[in-house]
Structures are given as C-alpha cells and as structure tokens.
Structure 1
C-alpha cells in the first residue's frame, strides 16, 4: 500500500479555543501529517457545555495560515447557509494568500438546524439548500477562475452578480481545491463530478464508503470526466492505543465504547489502524481524515505519527 495521506480533522464546536487549535495544528505539522482541517459549526453537537464557545472556521484558519508553514488547511465542510458565495470566495482567497497557497475549501449544504435557529441563520428546505449549493459552487469557482482584469456576472435563481471584479485571486491557480462530501445517492455525486477536486465520505463503514465512491465514479463517467482526476477520501473518528488499557482510556475520554469504535470507526492498536486504512486504500481512498475528538491529547497524535503514518 502506497500513497495514503493522513489528515487531522477537528471539531472545535465541541469546546476548543484558538490556542488549543493552534497547539494541535503545530503538532500536526511537527509530526508529519499532511493537513489540518476543522468542521464549520456554531453550536456543540456531541459534547457537554461547548465552552468556550464556537470559533469561526475561516477566521481560525487565517490565524493558522500565518502560524504554520507546510500543512494544508481547510474545512470539512463549510455550510453554504452560513455565507454568501461572493464574500466566501473573498475570504477563502485571502486565507489562501496568507498561507502561501495551502488552502482547500470543503463546501456543503449545511444540515444542523439547531445552529441556524440559535444564531438567526435562515435554514431553507433540503432541496433549496442543494439548489443554492450548486449556484454557490458555480459562483465561487467562477470568481476565482475569472482572468485578472475581466469581470464575472451570474444570474441564478438565488444569487445575482453583476460585473464583479472577481478579486482577490487566490494564491493557487487556477483556484484552491474544492471538496464535496456526503453519501447522498443523486445530487451529491452529480455536484462532485461537476465541481469537486476531491470527494469525501465521512463516518461510513467500508462497504458504504465503497458504494458512495462508485456512485461518484459513475457520475464522472456519465459527465465525460475521467475518474482519475477525482481524489477520493474518507473521514473516520480515530482512537489508537498501544494496548487495550491505553485504548480504553482514550475511548473513555471521548465518551465512547471500545467495541463500538472498533466496529464503526478507525480504532485499535497501531497495527489495527494500518490494516483498516489499507482496506480503505483498496477501495480507492487516497486520503484519510482522522477525526481527533480529544484535542488535549497530543500524545495520541504522536503515537499515530510514529507507528501508523510511516506504514501507510
């Protein structure tokens, strides 16, 4: 097995300050992982208090862009409901410049209604959110790809742009990579085939992940796109221990059962993780996002870096 990139994926809405995220991002870079990603949520989903409260994904990544040097930075995934597509394109291009061209944009419909009602964010029907997402993808990529000195206009059902200067341009040309995730059966594969550089399946078991990959491959072929141009990836909760006692301690720290984690996540000894990652590689995954839920346990990252990363 060759070529699997391991990326660290965090859920700051469960309770993490910027300083905590900075420590994790610096450890991510020091230990040799490929990227640091974060979710984009405004209220806790799993945790107890959520203190100290949410942090904005792109403001956080802007800070990390200046305090890291090598790792890729991005979102799994920014909710399309949170931001207008024009200002989003500006923000991400800014952070891409600040990082020297290390940013990736994961963009989705938004799904967690409670965070919308908590902060006064409109939450339309799922069908409308998908319609808006398609227009957002067209606008964001269109703004970035418009040649300097030219303007960009767009007339859609939900958004209208007239003679936009389409500035600033991101550092990466023609644009930063776009990630689309989820295991939807119809619209997700179509959007991924048309707009995504990477397709990600989060928190599904091997067989379901493989089926989702196949749907996107079929959508690519149907749209006349080579499947080789799409990067396939998976995201899994990670919990690793040198022995059963250490594994049980780490599972307990995130409120999970060891047996359940072994069945539904990326969990076990380093050798078990290497084996499971290998099976994801066999179905075509090229990147694994390791969802780290205990952000204070940097020894966990070091263990994975020392005993798993070199073998995948």
Structure 2
C-alpha cells in the first residue's frame, strides 16, 4: 500500500533497487561476473570501432552502421552495469527518482536505436545484394548519415515522450524496484495515480519502433534470399550469404532475447526471475555482438589483426 502520495515535481525522493539477489554471499560473485562482462563488452566494441576507423577498406556503409551499433552497445551497458556495481560495492541500493527516470529514458533510447540500426543494416544488405550496380549511388555517405540521424531522432523522441509522461504521475514514498536497473515500465508500477495511458503508450511505441524495423528486416531478407537463390554461381551465393550471416545472428540474438524477456514477464510471477531474464537482452547482446562480427566476417578479422598488431608493436 502507498503510505503517502507525493508529487514528483516538488519532492525529491529515493528509489530502492533490489538487484538480482539479496543473498550477501552471492554478491561478490555477481560483482565479479558483471564486471568481467562489462569490461569484455567495452573492450570488444572499442576494438570494432578502432578497426573500422583505422582500416580504409572498412569505410563503407555496412561498417559505418556497425560502428554506431558498437557505440550504442557500449553506451547501453554503461547506463546500467556501473551503477549496479557501485550499489553492490557500497551496499547502498538507493537511486534518486531523477537518476532512475534518466536511466529509464536512456535505456529506452538505446534499445530503440538498436532496433533502427539493425533495420538500416538490413536495408543496406538488401541494396548491396539486390541492386549492386546502384549501391554506391543509393547508399552514398550523405544518405547513410541521414538514416542514422533519423533513427537517433525517433529514439530520443521515444525516450523523452515516456519520461515526460511519467512526470505527470504521482508516486508513493518507500519506493522499491525489484530489478538491477530502472526501466520506464518498472517506474510506472510505482505510481499511485492512474497509469493506463502510459502503459498503452509504451505498448504502441514499442510495437511501432521495434516492429517496423523488424518488418523491414524480414522484407529485406525475403528479397535477399530470393535474389541469391537465382544466382547461378555457388561461390556468388556463398559470398552473398556470408555478408548477411553476422547481421542475421545479431538480429536473432537481440530480438530473440527481447521477445523471450517479454514472454517470460507475462508467464513468470517472480520479479527476481524476470530481472535475471532481462540480463539476456540488456547485457548479453552488447557483449556478444563484437564476437559475432569478428568471428564471422573475414574483413573484420583482418582489420582487428592489424589493430592488435599495431598496439602490440607500440608496447
């Protein structure tokens, strides 16, 4: 029950983040595990970005979008994990309402931006394989920058819209979130006032901003598969599919884990289990994406070897 209803515009209060477990014996293990995952994610995505910047052969639209995906992954995990590690280390699970709302807003921006980037990358592969002779004209640098800016605009607008809508709600004191980071949906559960419009807005915007890129990805790959199957050369088919393999793996990982968490949140009653499941979409994809692109992409492998070789020679 709510002890007291307060207006968040005039009252500053804290929210208690429960994290993944209350077991003090497991806290050091969780701290070490998430610290390793965070460092691997940052290091891996930084290497991807450095390889793309340093190797002129990778100055193409495909890798331009990939560099933004790597930066977005680093930013997403930096929003959530460091705060969690600080909370474990200090044994202080509190976060201010403003901090929680900001974290929820940035998480919303990054997750939608990821969806848009994956959709744009699918469109890039669609043009490269289905219209190879017009690729350099259609996917010119100016158009690529515009695609990223439009994606970023809608992502930021989505995050700000939800945040502003939350500010119109009233909240209770002694607020608790059974999660290791703040999400807009989790914040709405703390409201004492009616939040039906906010929940409808989340459903509608998620359906549009995550669904439209997914439909674009499906549309692109249906045409890609149709075009590749018409190629007479087996070598040509293999080369075409190999350029799409990494992207398809990342799309499957991101959307698969996202849908898995959404389904589990409607089936599982335990908030703790839902929080653990959310690790699969908020931390695992950003950590795995560099490995997927480095292992499945020959050009990326060669560029990474050059970057690592240069760094080793400087030591």
Report the structure, 1 or 2, having the larger helix content: 2
Q: Give the TM-score, by structure 2 length.
A: 0.25
Q: Give the TM-score, by structure 1 length.
A: 0.25
Higher gyration radius (CA): 2
